[in-house]
Amino acid sequence: MKIYSISDNMDTRTGLRLVGVDGAIAHTREELKEQLNKVMNDQEIGIVLIMEKLSRQFPDIIKEIKLTRRLPLLVEIPDRHGTGRAKDFITAYVREAIGVKLE
């Protein structure tokens, strides 16, 4: 099973390529859809790393795939600028999901 990345910048794309993860660059909705269609048709790709910025820009595309497909697994990762999430996003997620406040 292969890992593939879809990034919005060449620096992240190059860094992932250096560790053996192939991928592509997408800036527009059409480019993202084109790359995701390519990935969906490749049975060897099991995990797609997608930059958080792209998933925030086009949440409807990402959500549709996550809800309708088992594979490939879409994993949102931060890019070179860091994450767009709040510092306590994990504790907030747990608090919201199960109602337990973590100290």
Give the pLDDT band (50/70/90) at residue 1.
Answer: confident
- Indicate whether 12 belongs to any domain: yes
Q: Residue 29: its pLDDT value, please?
A: 92
Spatial distance between the Cα atoms of 88 and 81, rounded to a whole number of angstroms: 18
- Indicate whether 31 belongs to any domain: yes
- Indicate whether 103 belongs to any domain: no
pLDDT digit string (tens) for 35-73?
Answer: 999 998 889 999 998 988 888 889 898 888 888 888 888
Domain count, the chain: 1
Mean pLDDT of the chain: 82
- Indicate whether 13 belongs to any domain: yes
Please name which of 67, 34, 35 lies closest in space to residue 49, comparing C-alpha atoms. Answer: 35
Range of the domain at 35: 2-98
Q: Residue 100: its pLDDT value, please?
A: 61
CA 73 to chain centre: 9
The CB density around residue 54, as the number of other CB atoms within 10 Å, is 22
- Looking at residue 60, which CATH number applies to its domain? 3.40.50.10580
Its pTM surpasses 0.75: no
